[in-house]
Each structure stands twice: as structure tokens, then as C-alpha cells.
Amino acid sequence: MTAYKGLSSINFIILWTILLSLLTFGYFFVKPYFNSSTKIESPITDQANLTPDIDEAEFEGINEIASPIPDEKSALSKSKESSSPNDESKPFNILILGIDRRSGDQTSFRTDVIQLITISSDRKNAVVTHIPRDVWAETYKINSIYNLKGPEALKDIVEKITGQRPDRIIRVDFDAFVYAVDAVGGIDIDVPTEFTDDWYPDDRNGNEDIISIKFESGQQHMDGETALIYTRSRKGTNGEGNDYARGTRQQLVMNTVIKDFFKPKNLFNPKTAKVLYEIATKKVYTDITLSDTEILFELLLNYKKIAVNYLSLDTTNFLVSPTDRTPYNGAWTLIAKDNNYTPIHEGIASYIN
């Protein structure tokens, strides 16, 4: 089992509980303070140089990022009625999705990052499960399910794989990641492994070029775009060209972002608050409700007491890549060993029971 125990108290799960608490309440309480016409500026550079222009008419609130999915809002509303994250008799599951919609007007996308945060019913243990985007889900790879079939279908698939039903979904555009990193003035990353990726898609702002990127090992200061490239690269050398390595880089970057958010210069900085408001209203799609924030704040107040583990599903533990690709439309994909998901269910349960 590929898992990391004993992570620092500031870790991936804390990043999202804290940010979600701020974002949810910020939308209702910070909105009157910041005029909607206020320009959001990055502490590093002008945001206009970092992200594509956004059509303000495209957005109407925290739950309304443009999407081609029919009845997405009604599907999420239905999920609210059928799940109860405030029920302390069961674990609380949040499904984090990072989507690869590179520009605001792109109407189709895949989920480039899929992570399930499972918090035990006693709120003392948690496990973050990384699900590779290439896992086969009946007729498609899992990274296509949300776009093609909607949130409930993806919840069904995730439950089948992990044994845990997602109570809530948080869908984040790449721009949100860029904004968050730039909001703290960039981050310092100690890159453990040097690598080159000669096949990196330069598809931000609608480009279709392939470029070569390289990261030296050692301490580096990264702005949002650089950090995004570092976490997105999929075809790097030196063992960095796989989903597991990318998940590890994502973990490293996320840990660093949350540590920097807690620095006094950022925590009490109005510019940081403005960017958080920008993320909440334009870059995040979630079915988290105000009533859910009781749990989020509980976690925020007690984060040092939560034992967090990180579990990555890959070919070293629960998954295999079938040699016969005919049943999978000829695609390289991943499936459960012996088509049996039970070991994954048991692995996750061992961290929260």
C-alpha cells in the first residue's frame, strides 16, 4: 500500500478545510465589503497576464461556473438531500476535482485531479485518496465521467472504487490554483528531483503548442503559473512521468501553499482576502452549504489533533494496467487487480476505523 503517515499537521486536508471555510463564509460576509468592480491584483504581477480574460456574465455565484453538463445544479441539489455530512455516525467525504478547462470559454473538460478526503466519524483521523485519472470506469476513463454524465455518476464510480460515498464535491479550475499561489506571493519549493518534460501542453489561453519544460532540483521560488506547470507535468524524465509522481508533487505544493497562507503577512492581508473572494465567486463549483461549515470550522479548530494519511492508488498496490486494451477502446488504462475493489475499501477503512 502506497501511503504516507505522520505528515506535518499542516497538510493537504487542512488546506481545503481552511480555504473552504474562508471561501464559503467569505462569499456571504466579504462580498458587501469588496465592490464587484474592484480589480483583483496578484501580489506578484497583474492577474491579466496570468489568466485569460473572464466574461463576467458567465458567472453568477459560487455554484454557477459555466459547465456543459445538463442539469448539473439539480443533480447537486439532489445529492444535498440524499447525504448528511453533519451525521457524526459516519465518515465525512469530500471529493476534490481539479479540472483541465484551460480557458474560461472552454465548454468541455476532464478532471485532471481526483482526490477523495475521508474524515472519520470521530473527526480524529483522515485519509486523502488519490485516484488516477486513467482508472477505467465501465465505458470511459474516470476523468471523463463528470463532464459526460454529471456529478452523481462520478460519485457512484468513486463509491464503487473506494467504498466511500462522497458527501460533497468541490470542483476547481486551474485558475483557482494559480490565484491561490499568487495570493501568498508565490511559494518556495524544494524540488526533490530534477526532470524535463518535452511534451508539456502549452494550452493555457487556448494554445495548442507542445513545449519543453525543465525543473532543477533544489530550492526554487514559483509563481502560480510555474507551480501549475510543476504539478501538471505528466511526461517528465527521472521517474516523474507518471500519475503517482505527479500526485506527490501536488501534495508538496499544496502543503506549501497552506503554510504560506498562515503566515501573518498573508493571513491578515486584504489582497489575500480579495483573491480568496475571487476564487470563491468565479473559480470554484461546490455543493457545500452553510450548514456544512460547522464541520469545516470544527476541523479548522482541531486540525492539529487530526491524524492524516495519504493513499495513492497505483500499480504498486491495488491497480494493474491490462495488456489487452481491446475492451478499453484501445486506451492505456488502469483497473483494479482481479477486478476486485474490496482491498481498496479495506485499505481506506483501516485509516478511519
Q: Among 245, 249, 238, 246, which residue's Cα sits nearest to residue 191?
A: 249
- With beta carbons less than 8 A apart as the criterion, state whether 347 and 35 touch: no
The amino acid sitting at 51 is T
CATH level 3 topology of 3-188+258-352? Nucleotidyltransferase; domain 5 (3.30.420)
Q: What are phi and psi of 259, to 5 degrees?
A: -60, -40
Instruction: Judge contact between 119 and 130, C-beta under 8 A.
Output: no
Do 263 and 272 touch, CB atoms closer than 8 A?
no
- Counting beta carbons within 10 angstroms of the beta carbon of residue 14, is it exposed (0 to 12), middle (13 to 18) or buried (19 or more)? buried
Angle between helices 270-282 and 12-29 (to 10 degrees): 90
Give the containing element (helix H, strand E) for 42. Answer: none
Does this model's pTM top 0.75? no
At 194-215, the pLDDT tens digits run: 999 999 988 776 666 889 999 9
Residue 85 · residue 167 · CB < 8 Å = yes
The yes-or-no verdict on residue 157 having pLDDT over 60 is: yes
Which residue bears the cell 503566515? 263
Model confidence at 40, pLDDT cuts 50, 70, 90, reads very low
How many other CB atoms are there within 10 angstroms of residue 332's CB atom? 10
pLDDT digit string, tens, across residues 263-297: 888 877 887 777 777 776 777 778 877 777 777 77
Measured in degrees and rounded to the nearest 5, phi and psi for residue 281 equal: -90, -20
CB 227 within 8 A of CB 181: yes
Rg (the chain; Cα; Å): 19
Q: How far is CA 340 from CA 157, 160, 192, 246, in A?
A: 14, 10, 34, 25
**Percent with pLDDT over 90 in the chain:** 31
pLDDT recorded at residue 66:
30
Beta strands in 250-301 (DSSP E): 284-286
Checking if the pLDDT of 96 tops 60, the result is: yes
The secondary structure of residue 39, as a DSSP letter, is P
Out of 160-174, 250-264, 281-295, give the one with best mean pLDDT: 160-174
- CB of 176 within 8 A of CB of 183? no
- Listed by start position, the domains of the chain span 3-188+258-352
Q: Compare 273 and 71 and report the one with higher pLDDT.
A: 273
